[in-house]
Amino acid sequence: MVALSVHMAQAETVEFGVEQGQMLQVLMRHCQTMKRQETRLRLATALLVATIFATLVWIQFHQQNTTEAFSGARQTALKTTDSPIGHSVHLKPSRQINACSEPQSIEWEAVDDGYESQNFELKNQTVLHISTEGLYLINLRISYRTAYGLCEPGKDFVLVVRVTQYHRNYESEREIISAEESMICRDYWFQSITMNRAIRLEADTSLRVKINQKSCTFVSWTKNSHLDVTYV
């Protein structure tokens, strides 16, 4: 009876050992599977990161080349005389008019040689010649100032400014833009008229700025008056 019990105990021990061995094998296979999956995940992650990095490098390189090409083309376009787009002329009154007449054409001079192309030419200081047909932006500002004792206090007078154009196909000058404002006579009073307009001009068109005789002596010739014309 004792021998039988010992034999059964030994059999149970062997069976338990077999089960433990099988469980250990299962655990080892599971660990190996997890390790392979982790390795694959790391490889996939590394490949994804490398792909994203390569894409970013390509995009940056492409943008840089595109920007450089655009910049070079723009500089070439600005330098060529056949494409005056964006060029402009900047003028200021050259001096005070001594003898005001009706109508009075303002005399101009370039600001720091403000010609950016041969598209403009100032003739006799009063006529701005346009050589190229196209759309132009005209920006004009005429400033006025009443000095002490220059006029009768409290009396109003009229300021008139006109920009005209002339072409050989016209019978006479045509008005492009004009303004008319009242100004009260008061010592050291300051006032200005500003006009802007985009207009299409033919080649060989001449522009002129005129003011009325009564406002001639009040023009502030040295400051804040200018004429800018830009080919757009």
Closest of 143, 121, 139, 94 to residue 203, by C-alpha: 121
pTM confidence score: 0.60
Domain ranges of the chain: 1-79, 88-231
* pLDDT, position 109: 86
Farthest-apart Cα atoms in the chain, separation: 149
Instruction: Write out residues in the chain with pLDDT < 70, as ranges.
Output: 1-46, 49-50, 53, 57-58, 61-86, 95-99, 101-103, 112-117, 222
Task: List b or e across 183-216, with b for residues whose CB sees 16 or more CB atoms inside 10 angstroms.
Answer: beeeeebebebebeeeeebeeebbbbbbbbeebb
* pLDDT, position 127: 93
* pLDDT, position 81: 46
* pLDDT, position 52: 76
Mention the CATH class of domain 88-231.
Answer: mainly beta
* pLDDT, position 31: 60
* pLDDT, position 142: 93
